[in-house]
Amino acid sequence: MSADFCQCTLIIKKAKTMKPKTSDNTKTICQNKKARFEYELSDRFEAGIILTGTEVKSLRDGKANLVDAYVRIYQEEPYLVGAHISPYSQAYFGNHDPLRRRKLLLHKKEIRRLIGKTQEKGFSLIPLRLYFKNGLAKAEIALAKGKKLHDKRQSLKEADSKRELARVIREHSR
């Protein structure tokens, strides 16, 4: 009887120590929802960001805004421009400038590709979201082409029809 009891406790202990598998360890800080409406997005890239200590602490508090942000390439180095990261409230001195340019870290091959694409007419680089991945701050950027007014209207019509269809299905299933 004691041998069966030992096997049961061993199985329970193994079940407790197993961790559930997750695809990736990410925590979203902020998103640029306006970008999905204003632009037609094509290629997406993940870039690291060079930040100061107070910027990281402020991001962990979720105090960032990407509404008017864009990516500009200066001397073959990409920079995040116009992203607002609020000053850290508990910093005594050495707080950062909320609107400073922040260098993005990409592979050389990706930078060359982005330079070629942004020189084409109508393409620009837009940040879509800031997030932490395995403890490191990352930015998701995308090549974007501006939508015309009729394209924006079409997007609104599609969103309305999807919402209406979901409402009808929900009411019908009751």
CA distance 41 to 123: 10
Classify domain 26-169 by CATH number: 2.40.280.10
Place of tokens 């592979």: 107
The confidence score (pLDDT) of residue 11 equals 43
Least Cα distance to 141 among 160, 128, 152 occurs for 128
Quick one: pLDDT at residue 12?
Answer: 40
Q: Which of 2, 89, 106, 109 is nearest to 46 (CA)?
A: 106
Q: What is the pTM of this model?
A: 0.69
pLDDT tens track of the chain, all 174 residues?
555 554 544 444 444 443 444 456 888 888 888 877 778 788 888 999 998 888 888 888 888 888 888 888 888 899 999 888 888 888 777 777 778 898 999 999 988 888 888 887 778 889 998 999 988 889 999 888 877 776 678 777 888 888 888 888 888 887
Q: Is 12 helix (H, G, I), strand (E, B) or coil?
A: helix
Taking the C-alpha atoms of residue 80 and residue 71, their distance in angstroms, rounded to an integer, is 5
